C-alpha cells in the first residue's frame, strides 16, 4: 500500500544524505512540467518549499546537475536544494530512497540534443543586451556581449556601474555594437542605464557561468541565476522533449 505523504523531517534527511555523499552542499532545483496550475514551469524550487500534489498529479524537477526527477502524487513535503552527484548515485539513489517510503518517483533521462537552444549557447553565442529593459544575462566563457541600439536613440547610451559612468556612442546606421572592451564584466556586475537626465531607466545584471555538463544543466543553471529570457526557449524544448517521450511510452 502506497503512503500518501512523506514526513518533512524524513524527506529532508533522505535528500541531505544524497547531497552529503557528493558535493556536501544543497542547491536549488527548477520545475520543468506540472499538471497543477499553481506550480508554474521555470519556477525555482528552494529547499524549504513544500510541494503538495494530490493523487494523479505530477511534477518534473530539474536539478542543477542536469538530472531530472518526476514526482507523482499523492505527495506533500519539501524538495531540498540538491545537486545529485554520480558518486552517490544521484537521482537514481534519490528515487530509490523515495520509493522506499512509498512515494511514486522516477528518474528521467534526456538525450544530448534535447534542447538545441541550450546546446548552441553552451558552445558560444552573441548575447544581445537590450538597454531599454532590466534583465539578468548569463555569460559563458566564450560569449560576447552586444548592445542593441534603442529605437529613436539620440546616438549615445550612458552606463553606470557604482560611481563610474561610461558613455557609449552609436555609429550611424549601426543596429548593434559590441560591449566596450574597456568595461570588463565580472560575475554579478550591475550596470544602470541612464536616460538623458541621468535617471536610471533600466538595470543590467550579468552572471558568469562555468561550463555546464549538459543541455539540461545549462537550462537549470541559467534559470537558477535568473536569466529567464535566455533560458525559456530551451526550457520549452525540454518540455516538448519530455512530452514526446511520454507519448512514445504509451
Domain ranges of the chain: 8-108, 115-250
Residue 241's pLDDT is: 87
CA distance 135 to 178: 18
Average pLDDT rounded to a whole number, residues 129-142: 94
Per the model's pLDDT, the better-predicted residue between 112 and 142 turns out to be: 142
Contact 53, 60 (CB under 8 A): no
Give the CA count within 13 Å in the CB-facing half-sphere of 16: 9
On the 0-12 / 13-18 / 19+ scale of CB atoms within 10 A, 180 is: middle
CA distance 228 to 9: 32
Residue 243's pLDDT is: 77
At residue 16, does pLDDT exceed 60? no
Q: Which three cell numbers stand for residue 59?
A: 511534477
Residue 245's pLDDT is: 52
At residue 31, does pLDDT exceed 80? yes
**Of 45, 37, 40, which Cα lies nearest the Cα of 15?**
45
At residue 182, does pLDDT exceed 50? yes
CA distance 170 to 150: 10
Amino acid at each position: 500500500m502506497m503512503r500518501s505523504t512523506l514526513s518533512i523531517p524524513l524527506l529532508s534527511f533522505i535528500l541531505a544524505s544524497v547531497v552529503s555523499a557528493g558535493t556536501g552542499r544543497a542547491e536549488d532545483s527548477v520545475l520543468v512540467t506540472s499538471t497543477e496550475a499553481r506550480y508554474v514551469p521555470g519556477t525555482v524550487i528552494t529547499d524549504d518549499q513544500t510541494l503538495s500534489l494530490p493523487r494523479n498529479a505530477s511534477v518534473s524537477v530539474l536539478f542543477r546537475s542536469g538530472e531530472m526527477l518526476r514526482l507523482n502524487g499523492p505527495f506533500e513535503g519539501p524538495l531540498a536544494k540538491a545537486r545529485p552527484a554520480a558518486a552517490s548515485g544521484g537521482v537514481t539513489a534519490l528515487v530509490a530512497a523515495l520509493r522506499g517510503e512509498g512515494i511514486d518517483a522516477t528518474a528521467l533521462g534526456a538525450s544530448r540534443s534535447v534542447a538545441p537552444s541550450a546546446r548552441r549557447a553552451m558552445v558560444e553565442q552573441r548575447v544581445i543586451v537590450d538597454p531599454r529593459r532590466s534583465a539578468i544575462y548569463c555569460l559563458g566563457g566564450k560569449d560576447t556581449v552586444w548592445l542593441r541600439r534603442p529605437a529613436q536613440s539620440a546616438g549615445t547610451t550612458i552606463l553606470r556601474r557604482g560611481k563610474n559612468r561610461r558613455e557609449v556612442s552609436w555609429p550611424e546606421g549601426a543596429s548593434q555594437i559590441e560591449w566596450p572592451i574597456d568595461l570588463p564584466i565580472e560575475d554579478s556586475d550591475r550596470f544602470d542605464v541612464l536616460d538623458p537626465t541621468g535617471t536610471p531607466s533600466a538595470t543590467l545584471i550579468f552572471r558568469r557561468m562555468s561550463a555546464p555538463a549538459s543541455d539540461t544543466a545549462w537550462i537549470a543553471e541559467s534559470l537558477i541565476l535568473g536569466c529567464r529570457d535566455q533560458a525559456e526557449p530551451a526550457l520549452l524544448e525540454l518540455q516538448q522533449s519530455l512530452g514526446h517521450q511520454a507519448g512514445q511510452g504509451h
